[in-house]
Amino acid sequence: MRTILLLLLLSAASIAAVGSVVDKSYGKETAAGIIPVIDTSSATRKSAVRAATTGKSAAKKAAVVDTSSAKKAVVVDTAAAKKVAVIDTSATKKAAAVDTSAVKKIVAADTAAKKVVDVDTSTVKKAAAVDTAVIDTSAAAKAAVVDTAAVDTSAAAKAAVVDSVAVVDTVAAPAPVKRVQAPPPPPKIYPIVKPAIDMVFIQGGKIRRGCPNLDGAGCLIDERPRHEIKLKHFLISRTPVTQLQWASVMGINPSHFHGNDSLPVEQVSWNEVHEFIRRLNAMTGKKYRLPTEAEWEYAALGGAKASGQPFFGQRFLADVAWYEYNSGGRTMPVGGREPNELGLYDMIGNVWEWVNDWYDRDYYSTGQINNPRGPRGGTDRVYRGCAFNSGEQHCRISMRNFAKPDYRTVNLGFRLAHSP
């Protein structure tokens, strides 16, 4: 009994010393940290070994049991966690797959819509754009679009076909139509016949020519000085040459004003008048010509029968002349006003009249006295009288005018002269 108690005490002492025992044999701390100091005595050593072994075995078993339990718990927890994780992952993957599928579907739908938009845009680009209207892409795919406004010159706009439907491409707007003025009708052709020309015999004599005013007031420098001249007999036409007389010789009527064959011919140059005279002389065998400036003024003043009164003895200019006051802005048939003392009509008014002379401003100062024929040369030819568009101040017999030989205008004609 005592021996048993002693063993129990020793075992208790051994267990109490387990915490920090150092293995003196190896000089190391044991893994369990429970090896006691070995008594050198055999009995003590055996008892201690048994106790230590028993304690160690029990500790190991407890440790193994705890470790196994812990491992099992860890394994269980890990398995559960893995299962949860797997479940969660699966759910997440499914959710992600579902979301991805939905997103893919949405993206696919958007992509399809984009394709539709691209198709529609392509269709619109291939059709001709109209600035003032929005083209429905569905309608553009079904109908031909004609561009009559702004034209897209890009290659897409020049496509000939859109969705198997022809599209008219107008590269450029049509040029505006120019109004072409119809050409004037061809001139009337007259038969060439010998015209009837009424000539008046003018008895020669002397007269004072030039500005009638002694002081020269109201006259131009080329109308002065007033001086006396002497002329032989001559013949001069009663009226200016008419349109019918001209056309009978030339075959055409060049005049601006029409409506009556008795209108004075106009728009004829000095050169053309001489061609008319050449043909007329060939037809008649006579020697028609233009009057000299001196002959014209002598006849206009009334020659030897001159009364010395203005307007040929008439009271008003309108009684003897067509001018701006009474002409209505155009030529009038010849012989419509009162004649002068020699029975000549339209010596002033209606149309100016070419004469044969060259123009020289100072000719009145240096010219001949007997049958003056004018300067020997010059650049301009003289015409006398006034016209339907002249003012009263220009309708004086002494008034002189001049122009190039090829000049023509609507208020310039002529009359004929002839030597006996």
The DSSP result for 200-239, as a single string, is EEE--EEEEES-SSTT-TT--GGG-S-EEEEE--EEEESS
Contact 296, 353 (CB under 8 A): yes
Structural domain harbouring 278: 199-418
Per-residue pLDDT of 158-174, as tens digits, reads 434 334 444 444 455 66
Q: Give the closest residue to 222 by CA, choosing from 398, 403, 376.
A: 398
Parallel, antiparallel or unpaired: strands 400-403 and 22-23: unpaired
pLDDT (0 to 100) of residue 315: 77
Q: What is the DSSP string of 45-112?
A: HHHHHHHHHHHHHHHHHHHHHHHHHHHHHHHHHHHHHHHHHHHHHHHHHHHHHHHHHHHHHHHHHHHH
Based on the fold, state whether residues 361 and 233 are members of the same structural domain.
yes
Residue 134 CA to residue 324 CA, distance in Å, equals 65
In a shared domain, residues 267 and 347? yes
Range list of H helices, 266-389: 270-284, 293-300, 363-366
Task: Determine contact, residues 301/206, Cβ cutoff 8 Å.
Answer: no
In the sheet that holds 400-403, the strands lie side by side as: 400-403, 381-384, 352-358, 412-414
Supply the pLDDT for residue 8: 59
With CA atoms as reference, report the closest residue to 293 among 215, 378, 411.
Answer: 378
Look at residue 344 and tell me if it is in a domain: yes
- Cα 253 to Cα 161: distance, rounded to the nearest angstrom: 63
pLDDT the model gives residue 364: 93
Phi, psi of 195 (to 5 degrees): -80, 155
Q: What is the pLDDT of residue 260?
A: 96
Residue entry with tokens 């016209």 = 387
> What is the domain count for the chain?
3
Q: Is residue 194 part of a domain?
A: no
CATH number of residue 239's parent domain: 3.90.1580.10
Coil vs helix vs strand at 169: coil
142 within some domain: yes
Alpha carbon separation from 11 to 45, 352, 375 (Å, rounded): 12, 173, 180
User: Cα–Cα distances in Å, from 381 out to 157, 266, 293, 372, 377?
Assistant: 70, 16, 10, 15, 10
Question: Which tokens hold the place of 134?
Answer: 């929005």
Q: Are residues 300 and 332 in the same domain?
A: yes
Helix (H), strand (E) at residue 383: strand 381-384
Q: Is 177 exposed, middle or buried (0-12, 13-18, 19+ CB in 10 A)?
A: exposed
Is the domain of 75 the same as that of 134? no
The predicted structure's pLDDT at residue 186? 82
Based on the domain organization, do 339 and 410 belong to the same domain?
A: yes
Question: What is the pLDDT at residue 215?
Answer: 65
- Which residues in the chain land under pLDDT 50? 12-170
pTM: 0.58
Is 187 within the bounds of a domain? Answer: no
Apex 252 CA angle, 248 and 193, nearest 5: 15
Q: Are 133 and 28 contained in the same domain?
A: no
Task: Determine the pLDDT at residue 7.
Answer: 58
Q: How many residues does the chain have?
A: 420
Classified as helix, coil or strand, 356 is: strand
Task: Please check whether residue 189 lies inside any domain of the structure.
Answer: no
Distance (Å, rounded) from C-alpha 250 to C-alpha 190?
Answer: 8
Q: Does any domain span residue 349?
A: yes
Distance set, CA 146 to CA 134, 149, 150, 161, 164 (Å): 13, 9, 11, 12, 15
CB 197 within 8 A of CB 245: yes
CA distance 395 to 316: 12
**Whole-number Å distance between alpha carbons of 414 and 290:** 8
Torsion, CA 326, CA 331, CA 336, CA 338, rounded to 10:
60
The answer to whether position 193 is within a domain reads no
Contact 191, 203 (CB under 8 A): no
Kindly calculate the radius of gyration of the chain based on its CA atoms and give it in whole angstroms. Answer: 70
Q: Are residues 298 and 413 in the same domain?
A: yes
Domain's final residue, options 76, 100, 118: 118
Last residue of a domain, one of 118, 138, 162: 118
Same domain, 95 and 239: no
281 within a domain of the structure (yes/no): yes
- 333 and 401 share a domain? yes
Q: Which two tokens stand for residue 33?
A: 């940290």
